[in-house]
């Protein structure tokens, strides 16, 4: 079974630029999650989708971050404009349901200069 | 509010010795508890989970964890450590109260196993 796919794996941008990350969850997984993992910290949930609806986005900085999952499968996370403190690994995960085990992709490492 | 604490930034153990990585939690309802492992430049890999039932949970790679409700702990254990177990370990809790099952991760514990 294919795992969670993410792209790009690495991205370097300058502050105030915009960037987008893509995630393809495991086939059949209804729930999709985006996490931000800053160096030396545990992952922090940014947004959680159930199919194409948002379940929780309480920790998403909505003035600059946005995410969508239009067809209930793939998802994109966008940052516009980026700040230095957005430098982190962005992890996507999926699960069959809200109560089930999450499976993580390899992450996208973002460096904002 | 729910929270997870991993009190040790780093755990050092000799190969062949038992290992314990500690985790305590705080939730309003009955917790769903997880352990994940992260190797360099890779995403998190699921090790084991506790939702209900037997307090001793067995998982991947010979790891196990014991749920202790009175101490609100979920420590990760392995009887005999391997050098290849060296990695970053995260404890996570999901609180079913409220319906969102939002996941909170601990800060992580780095495990070093010396040959």
pLDDT interval class at B100 (50, 70, 90) = low
Q: Tell me: pLDDT of A86 over 70.
A: yes
Q: What is the CATH number of domain A5-112?
A: 2.60.40.10
Q: Give dist(CA B90, CA B99) in Å, integer.
A: 23
Q: What is the mean pLDDT of residues B79-101?
A: 87
Which CATH number goes with the domain that contains B66?
Answer: 2.60.40.10
The number of domains in chain B is 1
Q: Tell me: pLDDT of A1 over 80.
A: no
Q: Tell me: pLDDT of B59 over 80.
A: yes
Do the chains contact at B103 and A103, CB–CB below 8 Å?
no
Contact B55, B39 (CB under 8 A): no
Q: Quick one: what percent of chain B has pLDDT higher than 90?
A: 76
Residue-averaged pLDDT of chain A: 94
Chain A closest CA to B23's CA: distance in Å? 13
Q: Give dist(CA A56, CA A50) in Å, integer.
A: 9
- In the numeric block, which tokens belong to residue A1? 């079974």
Q: Give dist(CA B19, CA B65) in Å, integer.
A: 11
Interface test with B, best of A43, A54, A105 (most B CBs within 10 A): A43
- Considering only CA atoms, which of B110, B105, B111, B112 is closest in space to residue B5? B105
Backbone angles phi, psi at A86, to 5 degrees: -80, -5
Enumerate the domain spans of chain A.
5-112
Interface test with B, best of A38, A42, A54 (most B CBs within 10 A): A42
Q: Which domain holds residue B44?
A: 3-114
Chain B closest CA to A44's CA: distance in Å? 7
Backbone angles phi, psi at A85, to 5 degrees: -75, -5
Residue B99 is predicted with a pLDDT of 54
Q: Give dist(CA B101, CA B5) in Å, integer.
A: 18
Chain A closest CA to B73's CA: distance in Å? 18
């Amino acid at each position: 079974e294919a795992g969670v796919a993410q792209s790009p794996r690495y991205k370097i941008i300058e502050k105030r630029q915009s960037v987008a990350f893509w995630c393809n969850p495991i086939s059949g997984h209804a729930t999709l999650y985006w996490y931000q993992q800053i160096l030396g910290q545990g992952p922090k949930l940014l947004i959680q989708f159930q199919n194409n609806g948002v379940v929780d986005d309480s920790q998403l900085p909505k003035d600059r971050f946005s995410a969508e999952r239009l067809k209930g499968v793939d998802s994109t996370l966008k940052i516009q404009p980026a700040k230095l403190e957005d430098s982190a690994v962005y992890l996507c995960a999926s699960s069959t349901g809200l109560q089930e085990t999450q499976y993580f992709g390899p992450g996208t490492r973002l460096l904002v200069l | 509010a729910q929270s997870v604490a991993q009190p040790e930034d780093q755990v050092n153990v000799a190969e062949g010795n038992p290992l314990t990585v500690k985790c305590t939690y705080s939730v309003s309802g009955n917790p769903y508890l997880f352990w994940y492992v992260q190797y360099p430049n890779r995403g998190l890999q699921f090790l084991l989970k506790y939702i209900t039932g037997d307090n001793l949970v067995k998982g991947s790679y010979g790891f196990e964890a014991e749920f202790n409700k009175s101490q609100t702990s979920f420590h990760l254990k392995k009887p005999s450590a391997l050098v290849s177990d060296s990695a970053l370990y995260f404890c996570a809790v999901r609180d079913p109260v409220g319906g969102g099952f939002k996941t909170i991760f601990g800060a992580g514990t780095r495990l070093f196993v010396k040959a």
